[in-house]
Structure 1
Amino acid sequence: MSNESADLDAVIHHLHEAHTETGVGQRLNWLRAGVLGANDGIVSVAGVVVGVAAATPGNIPAIATAGIAALVAGAFSMAGGEYVSVSTQRDTEKAMIAKEVKELEEQPAAELAELTGLYRKRGLSPELARKVAVELTEHDALAAHAEVELGIDPEELTSPWVAALSSFISFTIGALIPLLMILIPFGNALVITAAAVVLGLFLTGWISAKLGGAPLLPAILRNVLMGSATMVATYLIGLAFGVAIG
């Protein structure tokens, strides 16, 4: 095998590895989004049930009603927002791909030259860039252009339904932590809830930092402190309203 052929094979192999890494990165992003959705569920529902519990101590029906309402509203809001956002992104990606298909059909030579130029910008020599562009175009012209030019994989467009369902489930799982803890019929429910929420926030902060490769301590502290501040604020508001009503 000549050096030129070996270089070409090496570049193609590198591009395939980069494509695989991109797919893994997308899955990690989805997982990180799920963790953040759970975090939102923990904080928002904890704020509601702690505030209501402070305003109406011992009123389990009121606390449960408020908590369940917050869980349902939050889960549907998260799911709806994610559906709209991803649908818009998907429509944009499909429009870009459709435009690329048309250009490949009408101007194949210009598109090949464009792909060659993109690989030259990535550091390949003019000759090698041309060979890579030709080989990838012969294999799958649309995939080559979509990945390099648009940063899109035509075979892996995000599903808005999957995004919505993932957000709904992750928010619900997180929200169940404070909701179930505040309804415990023994001990100090507020203390138990606060401890469970802090633990949940610790875990979501740790997981999100791990997935993103960020320093653990700052991520965990931010998460725990913001969630704790939310509980303190809603508790004080509930306490003030409870005193005023009483």
Structure 2
Amino acid sequence: MPHLHAEWHKASRIGWLRAAVLGANDGVISTASLMVGVAATGAGSAAVLTAGVAGLAAGAMSMAAGEYVSVQSQADTEKADISRETRELESQPDLERAELVAIYRRRGLDEQLATQVADQLMAHDALGAHIRDELGITETLRARPVQAAIASALSFAVGATLPVVASVVSTANAATWITLTTLLALLGLGGVAAYAGGASIVRGALRVAFWGALAMGLTAGVGRLFGAAV
């Protein structure tokens, strides 16, 4: 029997990595932009720091709530589909078997082999076979609302902590320190995500940093105009 070796693919991690990077990016960009905007009004360092901490807390909770609601909706849909599939297996097993055979035929198996595979899988775990092959739901991709909410909140908070810390340690001109720290963080996040996904590191880093710089620039402009008007 040939020796089996484990294979490792970049695509296997792109889902959680994308969520983590997006959460951290949101934390860095939104919090830094808020703090730079407040600083542009001429507010003191205490007000800038307060805005950053408030933005961190509000953003983390917003991310958690939004992610929970979104993923819970997916979980509810999955639950309803599985319940319906359970009823159909009990009431019309022959039709469900035919559905599996048709699925395997579309994947390239001939009639005889597709029938054998369907029969064996249904004998072993009929519901599991239909959940996986008909509904496309796997254990790895199952909706987990609580985990998704916690992960989103934590990743946002980690990202948002960077501009807040930059504001604390800066001795003067907090907006400059926040901007520099944010751009370096975004370059790193974009580069890591691109490397993990097999894309161009430089392009990925510059893409993320560009949009972060644009967000901070626009917010700073709004803050300056608002400060001048007040």
- Regarding TM over 0.5, the answer is yes
Aligned partner (choices 32, 53, 71) of residue 86 of structure 1: 71
Distance 2:125 2:71 in 1: 26
Distance 2:139 2:212 in 1: 39
By how many angstroms is 1:28 displaced?
3.7
Distance 1:178 1:191 in 2: 11
In the other structure, the counterpart of 2:114 is 129
Q: Deviations over 1:34-90 (max 9, x none)?
A: 111000000000100011112125x12211121111111111111100000000000
Tell me which amino acid in the other structure corresponds to 1:73: A
Counterpart of 1:91 in 2: which secondary structure? Answer: helix
Aligned pairs for 1:56-75 within 5 A: 56-57=42-43, 59-75=44-60
Tell me which amino acid in the other structure corresponds to 2:18: R
Contact 1:36–1:204 under 8 Å retained in 2: no
By how many angstroms is 1:213 displaced?
3.5
- The TM-score, its normalising length taken from structure 2, stands at 0.89
Query: Percent identical across equivalent pairs?
Result: 45
Please state if 1:159 is matched with 2:144.
yes
Gaps of 5+ in 2: none
Aligned partner (choices 119, 138, 144) of residue 104 of structure 2: 119
Distance 1:231 1:239 in 2: 12
Gaps of 5+ in 1: 1-12
Distance 1:236 1:183 in 2: 23
Tell me which amino acid in the other structure corresponds to 1:172: A
Please state if 1:50 is matched with 2:59.
no
Counterpart of 2:154 in 1: which secondary structure? Answer: helix
Please state if 1:225 is matched with 2:210.
yes
Contact 2:38–2:51 under 8 Å retained in 1: yes
By how many angstroms is 1:189 displaced?
2.5
How many residues in Structure 1 have an aligned counterpart in Structure 2?
A: 225
Q: Deviations over 1:110-161 (max 9, x none)?
A: 1111101100000111111111111111111111111111110268632211
Distance 2:112 2:148 in 1: 43
By how many angstroms is 1:186 displaced?
1.8
Distance 2:51 2:21 in 1: 24
Tell me which amino acid in the other structure corresponds to 1:113: A
Counterpart of 1:150 in 2: which secondary structure? Answer: coil
Distance 2:196 2:83 in 1: 33
In the other structure, the counterpart of 2:186 is 201
Please state if 1:139 is matched with 2:139.
no
Please state if 1:36 is matched with 2:22.
yes
Contact 1:45–1:70 under 8 Å retained in 2: yes
By how many angstroms is 1:228 displaced?
0.4
In the other structure, the counterpart of 1:192 is 177
Contact 2:35–2:175 under 8 Å retained in 1: no
